[in-house]
Amino acid sequence: DGGITQSPKYLFRKEGQNVTLSCEQNLNHDAMYWYRQDPGQGLRLIYYSQIVNDFQKGDIAEGYSVSREKKESFPLTVTSAQKNPTAFYLCASSIGPGSYEQYFGPGTRLTVT
Amino acid sequence: KNEVEQSPQNLTAQEGEFITINCSYSVGISALHWLQQHPGGGIFSLFMPSSGKKKHGRLIATINIQEKHSSLHITASHPRDSAVYICAFLNAGGTSYGKLTFGQGTILTVHP
């Protein structure tokens, strides 16, 4: 089955620790995205990657970092510099240039205490 | 002012009722998405209406490009329709392809 996987579904960390959220897709999509969702707010774009070895900051990139070494993988690191890291994180992908239909993963709920 | 406004924010209905969720946007768009988010968090694409009306089962999406407005209708609503419904759009002329702007979502609860 083709799709996007995110693991784990729930993640707990202590304040001051970096944490990496995984996102893998087997859809052969070129573009991948990371979003953050907070209660009562729309999804906000953290980072996106249009192609392997390339990525751009989204609207709220501060305190986050990404890498895109493989087409199928786009891990997100939440660093200790992120002031309010507790949120629901969603990864998505799309075919590539000219395609705006995005396919979403199941999400990871990160709680930092 | 937000570029996209959804209404209502919360909607409660009885099973069988006709549901309407509205989405208004203030910029030119090249594409609009209706998405459904299940209680567990997963998000699924429902519609990408380009113009007029599009129907899929009990769901109907309409879009009026001139009025910058889209609606999602659910006929004969059922408790399994309970979810968050999100509209999202792609800015016209944007340089970042696939970069969507999302509404805050409408929480729909359908009671038996």
Q: Residue B91 pLDDT > 80, yes or no?
A: no
Q: DSSP per residue over chain B, as a string?
A: --SEEEE-SEEEEETT--EEEEEEESS-EEEEEEEEE-TTS-EEEEE---SEEEEETTEEEEEETTTTEEEEEESS--GGG-EEEEEEEEETT-SSTT-EEE---EEEEEE-
Tens of pLDDT along B38-90?
888 889 888 887 778 888 899 999 999 889 999 999 999 999 999 999 999 88
Q: Who's near A86: CB < 8 A, 6+ residues apart?
A: A110, A111, A112
pLDDT for the residue B20: 98
Q: For B31, which residue in chain A has the nearest alpha carbon? A: A100
User: Does the CB of A39 have a partner CB in chain B at under 8 Å?
Assistant: no
Dihedral sign of CA atoms A40, B45, B48, A36 in order: positive
Q: Which of A100, A106, A107 sits opposite B98 (nearest CB)?
A: A100
- Chain B positions in Cβ-Cβ contact with residue A94 (cut-off 8 Å): 98
pLDDT for the residue A39: 85
Cβ contact, residue pair B30, A100, below 8 Å? yes
Q: Which of B30, B31, B102 sits opposite A42 (nearest CB)?
A: B102
Q: Who's near B66: CB < 8 A, 6+ residues apart?
A: none
